[in-house]
Structure 1
């Protein structure tokens, strides 16, 4: 079975919600959501980025928002900035759950590319501590504290403003050019992440913020879970110009499985088969080359295609890539090797 390393999941929020049953949820699953250890093992998912994320306000999480996103065009306003004290507490709770997963003996929180390889060799899930939205980074001292705790990947924003920059709204059709760039504190954050060799994730940044990171950063540009704007005109998707900047930096894009970013019509409505995913992969390969494309599922954070409803279905997706004409070497690169390679270039060996 080809190993798969994944660019993004939101499983830690499910762990927090599970409370005292969290370890059982991880080890045995409960029939809900996308991720758990048995389904990851069944599909060959050997690791990925486990996101710390402050949940959406209730108003964006209800049936009304889902209905709006099922019927484009739509332009939902950005949520207000999160309360920092609440964000710090929530981030701590989610990070604690990842440590609890490690204590089961089935997970290794990785801090280097060598750690990833070692975890895979040991039969453990290689977990990267990632922060999606930097609300819990109250200053650069806090960044160093989180780095000491294992943080190795950071997105300055989710789809709302932070002290560091501005995210894109849920909007279709829309350009990603939706607001101002990074704040002065955001410039400092980029420089300090470069110094600490923390990967900067561009997936939720608006276009001006993306441009600022491209100008300031000396690391490969990475979007952990994004799709192609030329195919689906979501504000969250990347334009060909942005893809060119990622390519020129030696960076990478992880394909997001969220149906609303894959579908040409932008509808939040699932579908059967793999054709939309393969179309996005074809475009990414054309613009980035074979070393710049990977997977970034957004499991437990998005509505995904029926045939990728959980990681146990990943072998079928890899088979679809082969049937589409991708050779075995390319399939292995997309599945895991490109992620490990770009992290080596970002973190060092």
Structure 2
């Protein structure tokens, strides 16, 4: 039995953008075994779709070094100029829309469009930006990106921008680090609420989280985060954050990144699926059955060896079944809860 699933976060478009332009479409459509997601492997695994992130990477910085540093530096990467962020965002969006024209995926703006894509056996993609650096404080680019299909925004990656501040890549610390949202950040939340654009709290610090909770009328969502009580990384959610998400009927997508799963915070492939199940158990207990989903971070993080890539997701779903989760609940975690949230926020 293959259970279809919807993924809350991947960085596949950045991986494709960094390839030679003549190879980008082919890398996804045909696949060559590199990276975590391509069309053949996604189809084989039962992937119905996901949030395809546009992540503007740090300039003059080795992103793998930032993500995998054993010291997990307390310093945030430098801020990124709007022009640089918009250029890379446009590049990733261009890849996505070329893939849509080629029939490899369908860019979806509503839950109905996701369901229609699934009926046609097309991979559904939600246009998401991770870190709002590509948006100017006059919100002109927000209007343009929305018209192009943008429906989900992570206010920050693990750095500061004009709207808010992310948490650093640090282990054994609380996410309550740094200032809250700027006035422009609060206005961004209000505009996204009015437009039906989902706000993603992953990477945002605790003060920014509190500000979103105070300003937003939408359910609180963290597309790819885990449980701080199990892995005390700044990227993970503490008890009061989980309680706030539950109170609004929100969702947390389980992040597969090893350093956000392991109690020791190490980024190592020697990480068992049982630890992923432990985080799911804690999330279900904290959020209820409607509040837990998947948010892999494929193509943006190191995966547990048993998962490896998108074809490993059925192993996680089977582990949940083996643990005693009923098929109905596993299907909600895999697919139904994201569909419900998309319908609530985007229509």
**Preserved contact between residue 75 and residue 172 of structure 1 (Cα < 8 Å):** no
Contact 2:58 2:78 in 1 (8 A): no
Equivalent residue number for residue 279 of structure 1:
278
For residue 226 of structure 1, give the secondary structure of its aligned residue in structure 2.
coil
In structure 2, relative to structure 1, the CA distance for the partners of 1:186 and 1:41 (3 Å cut) is: same
SS of 2:290's equivalent?
Answer: coil
Instruction: Pick closer, same or farther for the CA change 1:124–1:179 going to 2, 3 Å.
Output: same
The corresponding residue for 1:124 is: 122
Which structure 2 residues correspond to residues 175-324 of structure 1 after superposition, within 5 A? 175-324=174-323
Say which SS state the counterpart of residue 173 (structure 1) adopts. coil
Q: Are the equivalent residues in 1 in contact too, given 2:106–2:122 (CA < 8 A)?
A: yes
- Alignment of 1:39 onto 2:38: no
Write the distance in 2 (CA, Å) between the matches of 1:121 and 1:141: 35
**CA shift digits 1:40-60 (9 cap, x unpaired):** 011001100000011134445
Change (3 A) 1:113 1:25: same
Distance of aligned partners of 1:111 and 1:66 in 2 relative to their CA distance in 1, 3 Å threshold? closer
Q: Which runs of 4+ in 1 moved over 6 A?
A: none
Which whole-Å deviations, capped at 9, do the CAs of 1:284-340 have from their partners, x for residues lacking one? 000000000000000000001011111112222111111111111110000010000
Q: Which one is further off, 300-309 or 271-280?
A: 271-280
More displaced 10-residue stretch of structure 1: 242-251 or 81-90? 81-90
Deviation at 1:62, TM superposition (A): 5.7
CA contact (8 A) 1:57 1:79 kept: no
Q: Cα RMSD over matched residues?
A: 1.3
| TM-score with structure 2 setting the length | 0.97
| TM-score normalised to structure 1 length | 0.96
Separation in structure 1 between the aligned mates of residue 68 and residue 179 of structure 2, nearest angstrom:
29
CA displacement at 1:68 relative to structure 2: 3.4
Q: 1:134-154: per-residue Cα shift (whole Å, max 9, x none)?
A: 111113222111111000000
| Deviation per residue, 1:145-198 (Å, 9 max, x gap) | 111100000011111111000000000111000100000000110000000010
Mapped pair 1:49 → 2:51 = yes
Contact 1:156/1:201, CA 8 A, preserved across alignment = yes
Q: Is the alpha carbon distance of 1:66 and 1:136 closer, same or farther for their aligned partners in structure 2, counting shifts above 3 Å?
A: closer
Equivalent residue for 2:99?
A: 101
Q: State how far apart, in whole Å, the 2-side matches of 1:179 and 1:143 are.
A: 25
Q: Quick check: 1:83 aligned with 2:81?
A: yes
Q: What is aligned with 2:15?
A: 14
